Amino acid sequence: MRGPPATKRPLAVLVGAAIAAAGVGAPPAPAAAVAATPAVRLSDELTRTYVANPWRLAAVRRAPDPRARGVARLRWLTEDGLPEVYLVLRRAIHPRFGRWLQIRVPMRPNGRTGWVRERHLGPLRLVRTRLVIDRLRLRARLYRKGRRVWSAPVGVGKAGTPTPPGRFWIREVLRVPGSGGVYGPWAFGTSAYSRLSDWPGGGVVGIHGTNRPGLVPGRPSHGCVRVRNAALRRLAGLMPVGTPVRIL
């Protein structure tokens, strides 16, 4: 005896089932988020440091992506009206948005970093010096290619207005008219900011001379670093803009 006749299924249904079974024509899986390549370190801030001036007043972002949140904007000039310079830490390449550079950003709070498109900065310049300021021993040392080339006692901030610790860099060098003033013959502007935001320039921590050399070494300042004038003149011939500064 024959069983019940097989139910005939439409050809289109059979073809569709075969395609689904083979995984052909299935809707694509959601694409994974596109991210930048792992960042490549450019500066070690010891014997090799890269710096650059801005080419465009562009946004500085938290990640190498134009959709990332902004943290600051590049600027042409320092608080004293000299060309701004940024210390470059790393490079990353985004598959959609190209090459990016991670930079240190001079702003409050100290120690901020961010990412900018590489084309928004000028050519990278290599700096081989670094300055170390030891607040405990009240001494500063300059190194070139890892070798010490200068050392001197310093005056730093008093207890209520300490010189801030951290990693900074030299943003500007100013020749001070005359040599008998409170700032001596030279002044270096750093990326560090003191507690006194109402000071001229927003409280930028400077490294400068003094007309009271008897207070060096010591803790007489509102955050700046004081150097005796003769030692400062030697430093001015050795330390270029962009030099990384480590304050211990």
Q: Which residues contact 6 (CB under 8 A, 6 or more apart)?
A: none
Beta-sheet strands, E only, within the chain: 40-41, 49-52, 59-61, 70-73, 86-94, 98-104, 113-117, 125-127, 129-134, 139-144, 147-157, 166-175, 186-193, 204-208, 218-221, 225-227, 244-247
Q: Which of 158, 169, 164 is nearest to 84 (CA)?
A: 169
DSSP string of 164-212, one letter each residue: PPEEEEEEEEEEPSSSSSTT-SEEEEEEEE-S-TTSGGGSEEEEE--S-
The catalytic site residues sit at: 208, 224
Q: Is the Cβ–Cβ distance between 140 and 128 less than 8 Å? A: no
Q: Is the Cβ–Cβ distance between 219 and 157 less than 8 Å? A: yes
